[in-house]
Structure 1
Amino acid sequence: MDTYDRMVRILADEHKLAVEALQPDARLDELGIDSLSVMELLFKIEEEFDIKVPNDQVPLITIRDMVSYVDKLIAQQAGAMPHQAAT
């Protein structure tokens, strides 16, 4: 499951949204997700993706923005500490 699919699942579960409405260019505010909800969502993202979201203010307008941001954090943090299973 890729980042987009996982993000859609989180949004659908947490905000009771129809999966069909969760297209990449869907605006979060138009989905009823306000700035407080985005902050709460970032906590869920940290848990789901096992990453640390910095306190930096990043403009997250669409689902695509969120997916890109999470992918960037995953790449940055994987470089610092690879997530590999022990052998």
Structure 2
Amino acid sequence: MVFEKIKAILAEQFDVEEDKITLETNIAEDLGADSLDVVDLLMTLEDEFDVEIPDSEVDNIRTVGNLVKFIEGNS
């Protein structure tokens, strides 16, 4: 469920097909996200899942799988 929601958000924000997004998808390398994109994405996810992603965690979130794991563990 979390993964499906994240996939939909990423597909919309980065204009990619949901089918191309896997848990191994690297947010910066595979989706072309720069630092502003990441901040925007994290704010969207915080609102969607009612969770706070601290700045200290941002460096640890490189892949879609990292995002799913963080949100599932903190929501």
Percent same amino acid at aligned positions?
A: 26
Q: TM-score, normalised by structure 1?
A: 0.74
Higher-Rg structure is 1
3-state SS, counterpart of residue 13 of structure 1: helix
Q: TM-score, normalised by structure 2?
A: 0.84
Report what 1:51 is aligned to.
51
Spell out structure 1 runs of 4+ moving beyond 4 A: none
Range moving further from structure 2, 2-11 or 33-42: 33-42
Contiguous gaps of at least 5 residues in structure 1: 75-87
Report what 2:9 is aligned to.
10
Q: CA deviation at 1:57?
A: 3.7
The 5 A counterparts of 1:1-87 are: 2-29=1-28, 30-58=30-58, 59-74=60-75
Q: CA deviation at 1:56?
A: 1.9
Once the two structures are superposed, residues 9-62 of structure 1 have per-residue CA deviations (whole angstroms, 9 ceiling, x without a partner) of 110111111111101101112211122211111100111111222232431111
Q: Which amino acid aligns with 2:32?
A: G
In 1, Cα distance between the equivalents of 2:7 and 2:53?
A: 18
Q: Which amino acid aligns with 1:64?
A: G
Q: CA deviation at 1:71?
A: 1.1
Q: Which has the higher contact order (CA 8 A, sep 6+)?
A: 2
Aligned length: 73
